[in-house]
């Protein structure tokens, strides 16, 4: 089956789905429709905004469908069957695809997942890899079944995790790689050259949807552990500590390879004109912080307005 005759429906929502859609369009694939989560109010003003994938689809003059509930929306399911897709591609859609949908396309539903499945099934695989200090992760393309991230693997590709990059940078790069990788394997899958391999359930691990409480910093951990936490959880759900009873958001730090001596974990000190915090092992240099109700700023500027910050202990 050629690119021109292949009928594809794309399921996606977030920014991370956009590269896959754009790469496929640039490589000559056509789409019957793009399915995305319905618009939701966002921001302080609760303004309803289209999803990033909706914007990208409309720019390419592709039909956009926004079902509120795949499971119970009978009219949408009829519409989906009427589209008669040969293949569906899923990237950062954010919802489970009900089993009856999976039976419609001849070539199934293919999903881009940013881990070496069955490791890190679930909603936060890239953050989990950073939190655990992994040096590498993978992007897997799987054939979706009725269970979350459970389907057989078509292929995967390695990604080296830079210790100096944040989650935002790493995640963007991974999804770009995933988009390009989908292009590499798509025709091989359609032509029957790829045989899916079942995942080993004995090796499965799961990562959860991260919440604000997961960003609470425990300064009695090592500097490396806290550094990974800050890289992984910013910008959302964010990492934070308490200073004088107020929330202090810790946005960006740098590792300082200097062993802590008698400084209590959480103590703020000046080291070579850098604002540093003691941990169980080594120090972290504070770069960008934000006191609740205030603006984000570099730590040195914060000191100018809060001279009692030095010598205090973060909780």
pLDDT at 44: 61
Map tokens 């009692």 to a residue: 308
Q: d(Cα 172, Cα 165) in Å, to the nearest integer?
A: 11
pLDDT of residue 257: 86
Query: What digits encode the pLDDT tens for the residues 258-291?
Result: 888 789 999 999 999 999 999 999 999 999 999 9
Can you spell out the DSSP letters for 199-230? --GGG--B-PPP-GGGGB--TTSBHHHHHHHH
Q: How confident is the model at residue 50 (pLDDT cuts 50, 70, 90)?
A: confident
204-232 pLDDT, tens digit each: 999 999 999 999 999 999 999 999 999 99
CA–CA separation, 99 and 118 (whole Å): 20
**pLDDT value at residue 79:** 95
Write out pLDDT tens, residues 196-209.
Answer: 999 999 999 999 99
Q: At residue 143, what are phi and psi to the nearest 5 degrees?
A: -90, 115
What pLDDT is attached to residue 49?
A: 81
Model pLDDT, residue 5: 85
Model pLDDT, residue 45: 58
Residue 78 parent element (H or E)? helix 74-83
Q: Is the pLDDT of residue 38 over 90?
A: no
Structure tokens that stand for 234 in this block: 């910013």
pLDDT-above-90 percentage for the chain: 90
Q: State the first-to-last Cα distance of the chain, in angstroms, to the nearest integer.
A: 61
Q: Above 90 in pLDDT, residue 168? A: yes
Which pLDDT value is given to residue 47? Answer: 72
Residue 239 pLDDT level (bands cut at 50, 70, 90): very high
Per-residue confidence at 43, pLDDT binned at 50, 70, 90? low
Q: What local confidence, expressed as pLDDT, does residue 42 receive?
A: 62
The residue that leads in pLDDT, 40 or 20, is: 20
Confidence of residue 68 (pLDDT cuts 50, 70, 90): confident
């Amino acid at each position: 089956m050629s690119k021109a005759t292949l009928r594809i429906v794309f399921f996606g929502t977030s920014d991370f789905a956009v590269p896959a859609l754009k790469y496929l369009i640039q490589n000559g694939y056509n789409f019957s429709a793009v399915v995305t989560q319905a618009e939701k109010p966002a921001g302080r003003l609760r303004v309803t905004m289209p999803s990033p994938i909706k914007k990208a689809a409309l720019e390419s003059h592709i039909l956009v469908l926004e079902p509120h509930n795949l499971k119970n929306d009978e009219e949408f399911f009829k519409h989906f069957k009427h589209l008669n897709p040969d293949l569906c591609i899923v990237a950062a859609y954010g919802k489970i695809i009900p089993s009856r949908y999976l039976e419609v396309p001849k070539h199934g539903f293919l999903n881009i997942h940013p881990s070496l499945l069955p490791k890190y099934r679930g909603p936060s695989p890239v953050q989990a890899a950073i939190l655990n200090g992994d040096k590498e992760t993978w992007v897997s393309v799987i054939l979706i079944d009725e269970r979350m991230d459970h389907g057989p693997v078509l292929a995967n590709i390695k990604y080296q995790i830079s210790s100096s990059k944040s989650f935002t940078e790493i995640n963007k790069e991974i999804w770009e790689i995933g988009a390009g990788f989908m292009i590499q394997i798509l025709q091989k899958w359609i032509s029957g050259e790829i045989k899916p391999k079942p995942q080993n359930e004995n090796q499965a691990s799961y990562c959860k949807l991260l919440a604000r409480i997961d960003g609470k910093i425990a300064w009695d951990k090592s500097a490396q552990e806290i550094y990974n936490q800050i890289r992984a959880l910013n910008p959302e759900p964010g990492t934070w500590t308490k200073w004088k009873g107020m929330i202090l958001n810790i946005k960006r730090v740098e590792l300082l390879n200097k062993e802590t001596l008698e400084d209590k974990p959480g103590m703020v000190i000046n080291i070579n004109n850098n604002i540093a915090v003691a941990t169980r092992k080594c120090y972290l240099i504070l770069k960008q912080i934000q006191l609740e109700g205030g603006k984000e700023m570099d730590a040195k500027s914060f000191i100018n307005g809060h001279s009692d910050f030095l010598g205090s202990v973060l909780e």
